[in-house]
Amino acid sequence: MTDLWSPLKLATFTLPHRLAMAPMTRSRAKPDGTPGDLAAEYYGQRASLGLLISEGTQPSDDGQGYLATPGIYTDAHVAGWRNVADAVHASGGRLFIQLMHVGRRSHPDNTPHHRQPVAPSAIAAGEDMFTMTGMLPVPVPRALETDEVRQTIADFAHAARRAIEAGADGVEIHGANGYLVHQFLAPDANQRTDVYGGSMENRARFALDVARAVADAIGPEKTAIRLSPGVPTGGIAEGETNDDLYRHLAAELGKMNLAYLHILHVRSDAFLEEIRHAFGGPLVLNRPGRPRDQIGADVAAGRADIEALGSMALANPDLVQRLKIGAPLNEPNRAFFYAGGGAEGYTDYPVINAA
Ligand SMILES: Cc1cc2nc3c(=O)[nH]c(=O)nc-3n(C[C@H](O)[C@H](O)[C@H](O)COP(=O)(O)O)c2cc1C
């Protein structure tokens, strides 16, 4: 039985325990997408979580969907993220920057170039999104041309290089939650007729090409990917119908010797074990809404190498210490999950003094 508090060698470093911070968008970047000083403070405060997976970060102008999310493709972005990486490292943590291209889950008002969003196919996500003028429906996206798909893959690789230049320990490709990579995987969002659509192999091709391009750019040991089989967000309704694709994808990703596969898990544990087996490398597991008394259960049962926690980590900078001594937890303040700019509900969660 593996103990949650035992160290784990992952890629090129050793983590002090088997918890991690799940990626969480906080919408507090500067207007040009540069993370500010508060971001460095926020991540630095949480460094005892060991592996910190950053908020979704766009690899290009097209990749942005929400207001005030950070980017990692300009010199200013690199400088901002360097402050974050330095703060995390100074407190003994590791930082993977999550590369999030939102695809069709975008509104032109929220992007630097104000263009129509791009996606595998011209099919709307069917949702509303917060903009400076309130909630607006996301428009029908434009289908990427095949050469634009290749350019988008190159954008991921470029962003990955810039993340490493900023001092990140690696990147996590966001292949979950209805964003661009997931849109390519899902038959209801991908109705392409080129090599990126149609068969299961073709729909998995974009994810695999992105993973390969990123691994070639920065090394497979610094490359990770997050998937969410069956998660119905952003207009995707794959349910269990895409299970064979995920089995295939996990097996192909497994051949790349990546740092880890991160699963946002809502399906059966039997399916999770199939995916873990097919991938064969380190598995990070996020079980949404995991109760406190279940923390460590998947590591103990051998279903995961690392358990990633989201909102508990958001609200408790000293979560590891609190769990170890059985202290009460702060409640996350949802009103400030994404609120622009300020420290409130961001860097002002109190820590306990166990001394
Ligand atoms: C405020 C907030 C922002 C989130 N942003 C992201 C994101 O940028 N990328 C991502 O993959 N998941 C994102 N998630 C999902 C979390 O990573 C996680 O899957 C979810 O919160 C469930 O885990 P939990 O119950 O431990 O919080 C977000 C969740 C929250 C609460």
Ligand 1 atom closest to the CA of 289, numbered from 1:
25
Pocket of ligand 1 (CB under 6 A): 22-25, 55-56, 98, 100, 174, 176-177, 226, 264, 286, 288-290, 309-312, 337
What is the average per-residue pLDDT within 177-193? 98
- Which pLDDT does position 195 carry in this prediction? 98
Residue nearest to atom 28 of ligand 1 (CA): 24
Rounded distance between C-alpha atoms, residue 67 and residue 86, angstroms: 25
Q: Which candidate, 191, 67, 167, 175, places its Cα nearest to that of 119?
A: 191
- To test ligand 1's pocket by mutation, which of 24, 106, 331 has the most ligand atoms within 8 angstroms of CB? 24
pLDDT digits (tens, 9 = 90+) for 58-117: 999 999 999 999 999 999 999 999 999 999 999 999 999 999 999 999 999 999 999 999
Residue nearest to atom 10 of ligand 1 (CA): 23
Written as six digits, the tokens of 227 are 């998937």
- Which pLDDT does position 350 carry in this prediction? 97
| Cα–ligand 1 centroid distance for 127 (angstroms) | 18
pLDDT digits (tens, 9 = 90+) for 227-241: 999 999 999 999 889
Which of these ranges, 11-20, 187-196, 334-343, has the smallest mean pLDDT? 334-343
- Which pLDDT does position 354 carry in this prediction? 53
- Which pLDDT does position 11 carry in this prediction? 86
pLDDT reading at 244 higher than 60:
yes
H or E segment at 300? helix 297-300
The confidence band for 353, taking pLDDT boundaries of 50, 70 and 90, is confident
Ligand 1 atom closest to the CA of 174, numbered from 1:
11
Grouping H, G, I as helix, E, B as strand and the rest as coil, residue 170 is strand
Instruction: Point out the catalytic residue in the list 42, 73, 179, 260.
Output: 179
179 is catalytic: yes
pLDDT digits (tens, 9 = 90+) for 291-328: 999 999 999 999 999 999 999 999 999 999 999 999 99
Helices (DSSP H) in 126-218: which residue ranges?
A: 146-165, 180-185, 200-218
What is the average per-residue pLDDT within 110-125? 97
CATH architecture of 8-354: Alpha-Beta Barrel (3.20)
pTM of the model: 0.98
| Cα–ligand 1 centroid distance for 89 (angstroms) | 23
Rounded distance between C-alpha atoms, residue 183 and residue 195, angstroms: 15
pLDDT reading at 355 higher than 70:
no
- Sorted by where each begins, the domain ranges of the chain are 8-354
